Structure 1
């Protein structure tokens, strides 16, 4: 086993936030599920990562019960489930030790959010010497407000602000930043093959 699929933060916490209405791909869990099935068929390791913010009282506080995978994503026995408190999947987990013990030299990155936890994990994995594949359409994100924007605005106000970075721009920026530097950027169909139509 030399490859691992990392499923990062595809969790209910995000659906509990108003910004979920603006997510770039509401079916991101479905795309990740295709990657999981393919990884299992290939004999690759699947590693599940959940983000937690203990004591925060927010959607990522495990006490509130939202730190769980989205429906349709179910770890099998033997598939590690890690919890993290940092943006990347390495710093506050035993991920690197786990991958070393399993002889993994390549990681495939998927999850939420594209430019935050997924991109940060990909960059660090590259620096640690892993070959990195970033499946960009198996990641998703939300619009990002300007740093000086007032807090507490509605989704409509966020979208109306010309300084807001839209999801397409974020996805493009991540692809540009990672490709040929930190990762090979691909689409789900390139990994698992395009779905065939019954007919």
Structure 2
């Protein structure tokens, strides 16, 4: 991951988007991801940096439509993880699809706040994070993706397992350039003096 020398962004029109950091993605949850605790710890560091600087924070919370076995409405697994619990003045947007923009008020909220750039962390890298990053770019937002603050899982292709580490690297690489700049929590926080 590229950790330094990223294009400068204006933090005054930037918001942090935390995608689906919810209990079902953690050990003991219905859809535990590879290294979700480590990713959440990095996301929490970025969140604290935004809070210290009084910058906008938006939490995305997935609510499953139909019974897919996780993120079921009203369950403990659907709740946002304690490591990034929203504060009273932070917005929570509930979504039902991989894109945080599809059939939600997210775009209107960002436009109302004058947001031009999104810093994105969350889960799953290959699904809701990837989809939202691409949708954000298509909506005209600049995007910085904090790669080590995202997590995914092993996938299956033609009966063969694709390890989570490979899925993670491929998904991060796939958005570099047109869709997003990719960095680390340390790289971002140091570059913007949010530590």
TM-score higher than 0.5: yes
CA distance in 2, matches of 1:71, 1:63: 16
CA distance in 2, matches of 1:145, 1:189: 32
Is residue 57–residue 64 contact of structure 1 (8 Å, CA) maintained in 2? no
5+ unaligned residues in a row in structure 2: which ranges? 1-11
Tell me which moved more, 50-59 or 92-101. 50-59
Give the structure 2 partner of residue 176 of structure 1. 173
In the TM superposition, residue 57 of structure 1 has moved relative to its aligned partner by 6.6
CA distance in 2, matches of 1:65, 1:24: 20
**Residue 187, structure 1, aligned to residue 184, structure 2:** yes
CA distance in 1, matches of 2:95, 2:154: 23
In the TM superposition, residue 40 of structure 1 has moved relative to its aligned partner by 1.6
In the TM superposition, residue 39 of structure 1 has moved relative to its aligned partner by 1.1
User: What's the secondary structure of 2:17's corresponding residue?
Assistant: strand
Give the structure 1 partner of residue 97 of structure 2. 86
In the TM superposition, residue 24 of structure 1 has moved relative to its aligned partner by 3.5
Give the structure 2 partner of residue 155 of structure 1. none
Q: How many residues are treated as equivalent by the alignment?
A: 178
CA distance change for structure 1 residues 43 and 64 in 2, over 3 Å: closer, same or farther? Answer: closer
In the TM superposition, residue 14 of structure 1 has moved relative to its aligned partner by 1.9
5+ unaligned residues in a row in structure 1: which ranges? 150-162, 195-199
CA distance in 1, matches of 2:52, 2:40: 18
Match of 1:50 among 51, 54, 61: 61
What pairs with 1:3-152 in structure 2 (closer than 5 Å)?
3-15=14-26, 16-17=29-30, 20=32, 23-56=34-67, 58-146=69-157, 148-149=158-159
Q: Which runs of 4+ in 1 moved over 4 A?
A: none
CA distance in 2, matches of 1:56, 1:118: 21
Is residue 25–residue 36 contact of structure 2 (8 Å, CA) maintained in 1? no
CA RMSD of aligned residues (A): 1.7
Give the structure 2 partner of residue 166 of structure 1. 163
Higher CA-based Rg: 1
Task: State the TM-score, normalized to the length of structure 2.
Answer: 0.85
